[in-house]
Chains A and B, each alone.
Chain A
Amino acid sequence: MTQRVYLFKAFERLWHWSQAALIIFMLLTGFEIHGTYNVFGFEKAVDYHVVAAWTLVGVWVFAIFWHFTTGEWRQYVPTLDKITSIMNFYSSGIFKGAPHPFKPTARQKHNPLQRLTYLAILTLLSPLIWITGWLYLFYADWTQWGLGSLSLEWVAIGHTVGAFLMLAFLISHIYLITTGHKLTSQVKAMITGWEEIE
């Protein structure tokens, strides 16, 4: 029996897709700046990367405001409830056509594994990328800020590590959204707000 549940509000969807586009674009320009390939040319890649970064800062300002005013931040409170059964589902149940042990609701739209992943991104990966990125941007002011002993090499390495982790997340994320009720259930949910569940 298929049900439809309204999971993602308009702002949330807008936030998600603008963030997705900006992150993919920043991965593209970032690895060009890193010297991996040549698409826009170094100078343009830097310009675009910075513009995208500031745009994402703007998106985040709204997102943070939204999460706190709506109380949606509670979606990321970690829990280990049912975590074993969810891991079992992804490692064996999914192959046997077993139902997903977690049923999303508007109040709990992420399964515990998602909660943990997104929380890790919010508290570990994002700060790594943001802090190294900001330092990178204001490189010339380090001495003024009392950070003169900081090494650009380590800041750059931190930023690159963050980029690789984000890339790995992106790959698994794109795959995992195909594991809903139908292949496209979850991506549709993020487009229309409504997810089909069993």
Chain B
Amino acid sequence: MPNNSAAGLVFFRAFLAVWLILVAPGSVGIASAENNKAVKLNTTADHSKFKELERFFATGPELTKVCIGCHTEAAGQIHRTKHWKWEFLNPDTNQMLGKKTVVNNFCISIASNQASCTGCHVGYGWKDKQFDFKSEENVDCVVCHDTTGNYKKPAGLAGNVVTKDMEFPPGSGKILKAIDLSKIAQKVGKTSRDTCGGCHFNGGGGDGVKHGDLDSSMAAPDKELDVHMDAAGLDFTCATCHKTSSHDVAGSRYAATAKDNKGAHLRGDPTNGNPATCVSCHGKSPHPENVRLNQHTAKLACQTCHIPAFARGGLPTKMGWDWSAAGKRDAEGKQITLKDAKGHITYESRKGQFTLAENVKPEYAWFNGQVNYTLVSDKVEKSAHPTPINVLGGSPTDGKSMIWPMKVMHSTQPFDPVNKTLITPHTAGNDDTGYWKNLDWDKAIPVGMADAGAPYSGQYDFINTEMSWPITHMVAPKEKALACVECHTSQGRLANLPGIYLPGTHTMKLVDKLGWGLALLTLLGVLGHGAVRVMSHRKA
């Protein structure tokens, strides 16, 4: 009687389960006492057991000295990275890039604004051009390795931390609370979505501002928002894909891997490509049961179908920023801040007018991974079309390009109409020339341009710019990937992309006219012939 015994087994298991639940509260205490561990078991060092960390640290560098006492090579490794240097020599274009040099169409540039921007530098004390990039103790280990969530690097302190309550800016009445470096250091661990996100979610000066596919909703996303990072599922951290070697984090927007020809990684294979691409895990034929979808991978980046929209986590991203609208004051001469119905800032006197959007359909572009930046040393011309801050390489015919989703940021920003260059204004800073404080371009621009080492004519105007950001995060579950008809329809998503023929979108109008004409003439011909037959038959 197999059925009866199976039913009996099920009943027994159910009984056992209920019994365990009833007695469990008593047994938990015993079990947890035996297995009591202060830290996750995925590390071999419990930093709370290190006597060196049981003391007061007045500054970040004091702590780093202790870290590198054991981790002797760590600081040197950091010194070689973009995270430290904010410099990147593009091997394809020979352009010197990196945050130190580039101009964007958000907060524009770090020139003369270092003390504010370097709150997101993996170092301590980069307040101006004199910063010592050779100093090991200036490396900030904890900003990436904090697990407590208590570590803070306030803007304006050049990446330094506050270990004693202080008023900042001086005279403002605002108190920055101290953090306990000792406690934080005793709980260091692997990087997390929170530590990476501390800066990368807040690029452009606030949550979700810059990227569109990175904001604080990605700290603990659900499956709908990101199928890999799904906190209740696969729970990837950033480093799961951005596989880091010797502190050098894989993946780059300066020299992107637009088309990964190398395929899924084989452990140890020296020909392995960029580990942060989709292909590096999923391979080049990622749809096992659908040949047609695999065919699409010849021209479409995975992201194009699998990220149907960005800014999907309930937070808006900035799509437009009009610096020319900045500078307004209220009746009392104070700076103004306006917010939308959801409480997101749409206007600030010190920054200008913002256009915000959620659930944004990307624009699409051919992209071969090469990006040319418009630097402050480049000539720009005001024209009807927005001036590109970055120009994506790529074409339908170069064999290296794929169709990629993009966030395209549209801004209006200061430029020098005489020298025909972009302008890097001095914005942040509690000083007389900082635009955010005094709203005076004539004071702010010369300081910023001097720091960038760029000539300034003394005249400023505003220029429309656009900047493309490849979208690669917020990967939706496959059920939510783009349906065919999102593109294969007359006004589909790729209708305006050059160099492609999409069934359902594109037709050759002449062929259609001739074809339907032929069908119609044939029909008229046979109807006419038939009519004559009928009439002559009746006569007869």
Stretch at the interface among A53-61, A71-79, A170-178: A170-178
A42-B488, A152-B501, A156-B503 known; A140 and B294 CB under 8 Å? yes
Bound together, the chains give a CA A43 to CA B483 distance in angstroms of: 8
Q: Does A99 reach chain B (CB closer than 8 Å)?
A: no
Q: Does A22 reach chain B (CB closer than 8 Å)?
A: no
Distance (Å) between the CB of B466 and the closest chain A CB?
A: 29
Bound together, the chains give a CA A193 to CA B511 distance in angstroms of: 39
Q: Does B497 reach chain A (CB closer than 8 Å)?
A: no
Find out whether the CB atom of B503 lies under 8 angstroms from the CB atom of A34: yes
Distance (Å) between the CB of A166 and the closest chain B CB?
A: 10
Bound together, the chains give a CA A12 to CA B434 distance in angstroms of: 88
Q: Does A97 reach chain B (CB closer than 8 Å)?
A: yes
Give B505's nearest chain A residue, CB to CB.
Answer: A35
Bound together, the chains give a CA A94 to CA B529 distance in angstroms of: 10
Find out whether the CB atom of A168 lies under 8 angstroms from the CB atom of B522: yes
Give B295's nearest chain A residue, CB to CB.
Answer: A140
Bound together, the chains give a CA A165 to CA B292 distance in angstroms of: 27
Distance (Å) between the CB of A178 and the closest chain B CB?
A: 7
Q: Does A147 reach chain B (CB closer than 8 Å)?
A: no
Chain A residues contacting B488 (CB-CB under 8 Å) are: 33, 35, 42
Distance (Å) between the CB of B293 and the closest chain A CB?
A: 10
Interface residues of B in 461-500 (CB under 8 A from A): 483-485, 488-490, 500
Find out whether the CB atom of A153 lies under 8 angstroms from the CB atom of B501: yes
Q: Does A10 reach chain B (CB closer than 8 Å)?
A: no
User: At the interface, is chain A mostly helix, strand, loop or mixed?
Assistant: helix
Q: Does B131 reach chain A (CB closer than 8 Å)?
A: no
Chain A residues contacting B518 (CB-CB under 8 Å) are: 164-165, 167-168
Chain B residues contacting A151 (CB-CB under 8 Å) are: 501
Interface residues of A in 133-157 (CB under 8 A from B): 139-140, 143, 151-153, 156-157
Distance (Å) between the CB of A171 and the closest chain B CB?
A: 5
Q: Does B206 reach chain A (CB closer than 8 Å)?
A: no
Chain B residues contacting A94 (CB-CB under 8 Å) are: 533
Bound together, the chains give a CA A160 to CA B526 distance in angstroms of: 23
Give B292's nearest chain A residue, CB to CB.
Answer: A46
A42-B485, A167-B519 known; A33 and B501 CB under 8 Å? no
Chain A residues contacting B516 (CB-CB under 8 Å) are: 164
Bound together, the chains give a CA A143 to CA B515 distance in angstroms of: 30
Q: Does A161 reach chain B (CB closer than 8 Å)?
A: yes
Interface residues of A in 80-128 (CB under 8 A from B): 90, 94-97
Distance (Å) between the CB of B105 and the closest chain A CB?
A: 36
Bound together, the chains give a CA A167 to CA B514 distance in angstroms of: 13
Find out whether the CB atom of A95 lies under 8 angstroms from the CB atom of B504: no
Chain B residues contacting A152 (CB-CB under 8 Å) are: 500-501
Find out whether the CB atom of A160 lies under 8 angstroms from the CB atom of B489: no
Find out whether the CB atom of A161 lies under 8 angstroms from the CB atom of B529: no
Chain A residues contacting B297 (CB-CB under 8 Å) are: 140
In which size bucket is the chain B interface? 35 or more
Distance (Å) between the CB of A150 and the closest chain B CB?
A: 11
Give A96's nearest chain B residue, CB to CB.
Answer: B536
Bound together, the chains give a CA A96 to CA B540 distance in angstroms of: 8
Chain A residues contacting B532 (CB-CB under 8 Å) are: 95
Find out whether the CB atom of B519 lies under 8 angstroms from the CB atom of A168: yes
Give B297's nearest chain A residue, CB to CB.
Answer: A140
Chain B residues contacting A43 (CB-CB under 8 Å) are: 483-485
Q: Does B24 reach chain A (CB closer than 8 Å)?
A: no
Q: Does B507 reach chain A (CB closer than 8 Å)?
A: yes
Bound together, the chains give a CA A140 to CA B295 distance in angstroms of: 5
Chain A residues contacting B540 (CB-CB under 8 Å) are: 96-97
Find out whether the CB atom of A172 lies under 8 angstroms from the CB atom of B485: no
Bound together, the chains give a CA A97 to CA B489 distance in angstroms of: 51
Give A97's nearest chain B residue, CB to CB.
Answer: B540
Distance (Å) between the CB of B118 and the closest chain A CB?
A: 47
As a 0/1 sequence over residues 515 to 527 of chain B, the CB contacts with chain A under 8 angstroms (1 = contact) are: 1101100110110
Find out whether the CB atom of B523 lies under 8 angstroms from the CB atom of A171: yes
Find out whether the CB atom of A172 lies under 8 angstroms from the CB atom of B525: yes
Bound together, the chains give a CA A140 to CA B291 distance in angstroms of: 10
Find out whether the CB atom of A41 lies under 8 angstroms from the CB atom of B485: yes
Find out whether the CB atom of B489 lies under 8 angstroms from the CB atom of A35: yes
Q: Does B298 reach chain A (CB closer than 8 Å)?
A: yes
Bound together, the chains give a CA A123 to CA B536 distance in angstroms of: 37
Find out whether the CB atom of A139 lies under 8 angstroms from the CB atom of B484: no
Find out whether the CB atom of B530 lies under 8 angstroms from the CB atom of A139: no
Chain B residues contacting A178 (CB-CB under 8 Å) are: 530
Give A47's nearest chain B residue, CB to CB.
Answer: B292
Q: Does B341 reach chain A (CB closer than 8 Å)?
A: no
Q: Does B443 reach chain A (CB closer than 8 Å)?
A: no
A35-B504, A164-B515, A168-B518 known; A42 and B526 CB under 8 Å? no
Find out whether the CB atom of A95 lies under 8 angstroms from the CB atom of B505: no
Chain B residues contacting A167 (CB-CB under 8 Å) are: 515, 518-519
Give B540's nearest chain A residue, CB to CB.
Answer: A97
Give B516's nearest chain A residue, CB to CB.
Answer: A164
**Among candidates A35, A41, A175, A176, residue contacting B503 with C-beta atoms closer than 8 Å:** A35
As a 0/1 sequence over residues 309 to 341 of chain B, the CB contacts with chain A under 8 angstroms (1 = contact) are: 000000000000000000000000000000000
Q: Does B17 reach chain A (CB closer than 8 Å)?
A: no
Q: Which residue of B490, B500, B503, B537 has the most chain A CB atoms within 10 A of its CB atom?
A: B503
Bound together, the chains give a CA A152 to CA B503 distance in angstroms of: 10
**Among candidates A34, A140, A176, residue contacting B507 with C-beta atoms closer than 8 Å:** A34
Q: Does B508 reach chain A (CB closer than 8 Å)?
A: yes
Give B526's nearest chain A residue, CB to CB.
Answer: A175
Q: Does B82 reach chain A (CB closer than 8 Å)?
A: no
Give B510's nearest chain A residue, CB to CB.
Answer: A157
A-to-B contact residues, CB < 8 Å: 33-35, 41-43, 46, 90, 94-97, 139-140, 143, 151-153, 156-157, 160-161, 163-165, 167-168, 171-172, 174-176, 178-179
Apart from the given pairs A153-B508, A172-B525, 7 other A-B contacts in the complex at a CB distance below 8 Å: A35-B505, A35-B507, A42-B485, A95-B533, A156-B501, A157-B511, A164-B518
15 contacts between A and B (CB under 8 A): A33-B504, A35-B504, A42-B485, A96-B536, A96-B540, A97-B536, A140-B295, A156-B503, A160-B511, A164-B516, A168-B519, A171-B522, A171-B523, A172-B525, A178-B530
B-to-A contact residues, CB < 8 Å: 292, 294-298, 483-485, 488-490, 500-501, 503-508, 511-512, 514-516, 518-519, 522-523, 525-526, 529-530, 532-533, 536-537, 540
User: Ordered nearest first, which 8 A-B pairs have the shortest CB separation?
Assistant: A164-B515, A140-B295, A175-B526, A153-B501, A95-B536, A43-B484, A35-B504, A168-B522
